[in-house]
């Protein structure tokens, strides 16, 4: 191959011979700020002609609970079929099996791949240097860097919280500059391509008057031998640099049942990008229709909510009857639109209380496949669990919140909209001095059945007020499994840690189904080498 051709770095070591055929080795991934593995899951799931198209060489996550989830998933990828011990654990629960004793080689490989380290520290830098040298020594040149630096300092919510801290110093907040660690690895690895994900607030974030996004763009383009940047959700245009808005990917436009808008930057090494045929420049195709909440979680087993204190079926029934009575009385507090229709839904909830109590608060198996979901997404979400589900367990709520959840869900079913603060009857309004200020308009938000959910965030770990189930008979917030499904994690994906930690992991992750589509979209870049 001519040394000046764009694929000059693809050497014979990148290929193997199998049964007389030349096979290309999987693309090696370095995954930074991995979380529970949403990006890595999407990339690892893409199949080539006879083997996975991508393979994670190393993934790094500092949070212990998220790292445990990440390591477990790395372990499971070592098997063509999920181990029987894992499927039994999904069904029965309890302590995790001793994976090191059952499958010592695969467990050691997973431990080596998924590292619990903090990027920006010396141990993490040393480990990455070691792994990059191993990749170089193997002759592998088909490499990819993925990851999303923590977003708290960029997000609008995070910036609002910081603004209320008198001593907050944006210049001293290292989270504003963790992208620099990503750039450092990009410089050192020099991969064919990279994918960086972050919150949309990154576009407007600034430190001492300097726009963070402009700094990020400058540093990414200048890394290594230089990179060309592309927005995946817009038509590629080699005649100009993309605008900031070109990097915004709206997950609901790509088959994810969630209105999640994120900045996703694709970079392709300039020596390769400048020679790419137009057909090889990646872009994400839009889905023909959006996927709704009801399509995604409506066929999961119905569950009753719980009480935050002294829960029992009888106590919950009494609390629900009281909540229904509060809502019924509140409908007369002031002129509530559609009050008669809301009363009819309320009566149905009361009539089905016995049936709802019998459902219990948890379930380990789901109903048949959803006939409403697009077939490909349904297969993806089902995973290889054979109908088993985990983490489908409700949390407890305060009796006063049960009445608010009940009103909100009934209102949403009747009107097709989640009620804003001004729509709440006075007697159901929480005792917040600022309740009527407009700051709490969406304090109680129903995830509407007929459209994608709002963005699943880590705030779901604090309370369920923003994530109320659309079915008023269940009167509860979303379970971890329901949130995970809306994030497009397969049903066989187990999140470790306590429930709060599980919610945080789900909320902070990249939707794997979106990552899967990104991984497929950039394959032609590697095929062109």
Strands 227-231 and 206-207: unpaired
Which tokens hold the place of 17? 């011979």
Residues 6 or more apart in contact with residue 298 via CB below 8 angstroms: 370, 372, 449, 470, 471
Which SS3 state, helix, strand or coil, does residue 228 take? strand
d(CA 232, CA 327): 47
Q: What is the dihedral of CA 91, 97, 101, 104, to 10 degrees?
A: 70
Residue 8, CA distances (Å) to 134, 194, 480 in order: 20, 19, 47
Catalytic site residue from 4, 151, 359, 475: 151
Of the candidates 193, 57, 175, the one whose C-alpha atom is nearest the C-alpha of residue 119 is: 175
- Say if CB 424 and CB 438 are below 8 A apart: no
Tell me, yes or no, if 410 is annotated catalytic. Answer: no
Q: Using only C-alpha atoms, what is the Rg of the chain?
A: 25
Of the candidates 155, 124, 142, 159, the one whose C-alpha atom is nearest the C-alpha of residue 34 is: 124
- What is the 8-class DSSP label of residue 444? S
d(CA 221, CA 241): 11
Which tokens hold the place of 47? 């199949």
Can you name the residues that pair with 51 across neighbouring β-strands?
none
Q: At 15, which helix (H) or strand (E)?
A: strand 15-18
- Say if CB 26 and CB 491 are below 8 A apart: no
Task: Tell me the Ramachandran region of residue 263: left when phi exceeds 0, alpha when psi lies from -120 to 50, beta otherwise.
Answer: beta
- Say if CB 476 and CB 303 are below 8 A apart: yes
DSSP string, 21-77: EEEEPPEEEEEES-TTSHHHHHHHT-B-SSSBSEEEEEEEE--HHHHHHHHHHHHHT
Q: What is the dihedral of CA 520, 521, 522, 524, to 10 degrees?
A: 90
Phi, psi (deg, nearest 5) at residue 20: 80, 0
Catalytic residue positions, numbered: 151
């Amino acid at each position: 191959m001519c040394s000046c051709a764009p694929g000059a770095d693809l050497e014979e070591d990148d290929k193997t011979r199998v049964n007389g055929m030349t096979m290309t080795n999987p693309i090696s991934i370095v995954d930074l700020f991995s979380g529970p593995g949403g990006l890595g899951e999407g990339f690892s799931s893409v199949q080539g002609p006879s083997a996975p198209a991508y393979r994670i060489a190393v993934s790094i996550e500092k949070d212990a609970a998220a790292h445990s989830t990440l390591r477990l998933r790395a372990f499971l990828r070592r098997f063509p079929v999920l181990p029987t011990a894992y499927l039994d654990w999904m069904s029965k629960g309890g302590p995790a099996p001793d994976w090191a004793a059952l499958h010592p080689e695969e467990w050691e490989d997973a431990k080596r791949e998924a590292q619990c380290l903090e990027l920006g520290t010396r141990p993490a830098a040393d480990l990455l240097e070691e792994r990059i040298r191993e990749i170089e020594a193997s002759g592998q040149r088909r490499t990819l860097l993925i990851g999303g630096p923590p977003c708290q300092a960029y997000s609008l919510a995070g910036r609002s919280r910081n603004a209320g801290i008198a001593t907050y110093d944006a210049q001293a907040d290292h989270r504003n500059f963790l992208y620099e660690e990503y750039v450092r690895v990009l410089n050192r690895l020099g991969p064919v391509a990279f994918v960086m994900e972050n919150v949309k607030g990154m576009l407007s974030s600034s430190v001492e008057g300097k726009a963070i996004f402009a700094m990020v763009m400058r540093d990414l383009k200048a890394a290594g031998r230089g990179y060309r940047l592309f927005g995946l959700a817009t038509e590629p245009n080699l005649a100009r640099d993309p605008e900031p808005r070109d990097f915004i990917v709206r997950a609901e436009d790509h088959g994810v049942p969630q209105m999640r808008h994120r900045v996703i930057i694709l970079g392709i090494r300039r020596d390769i990008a400048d020679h790419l045929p137009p057909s090889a420049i990646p872009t994400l195709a839009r889905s023909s229709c959006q996927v709704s909440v009801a399509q995604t979680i409506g066929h999961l087993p119905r569950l009753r909510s719980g009480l935050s204190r002294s829960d029992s079926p009888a106590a919950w029934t009494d609390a629900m009857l009281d909540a229904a009575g509060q809502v019924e009385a509140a409908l007369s507090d002031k002129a509530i639109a559609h009050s008669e229709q809301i009363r009819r839904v309320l009566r149905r909830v009361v009539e089905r209380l016995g049936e709802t109590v019998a459902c219990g608060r948890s379930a380990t198996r789901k109903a048949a496949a959803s006939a409403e979901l697009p077939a490909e997404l349904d297969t993806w979400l089902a995973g290889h669990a054979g109908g088993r589900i985990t983490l489908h367990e409700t949390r407890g709520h305060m009796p006063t919140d049960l009445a608010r959840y009940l009103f909100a869900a009934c209102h949403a079913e009747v009107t097709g909209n989640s009620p804003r603060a001004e729509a709440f009857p006075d007697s159901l309004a929480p005792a917040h001095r600022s309740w009527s200020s407009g700051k709490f308009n969406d304090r109680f938000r129903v995830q509407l059945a007929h459209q994608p959910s709002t963005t699943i965030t880590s705030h779901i770990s604090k309370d369920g007020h923003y994530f109320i189930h659309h079915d008023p008979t269940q009167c509860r917030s979303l379970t971890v499994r329901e949130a995970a499904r809306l994030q497009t994690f397969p049903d066989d994906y187990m999140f470790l840690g306590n429930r709060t930690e599980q919610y945080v992991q789900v909320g902070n992750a990249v939707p794997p189904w979106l990552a899967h589509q990104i991984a497929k979209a950039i394959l032609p870049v590697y095929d062109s080498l």
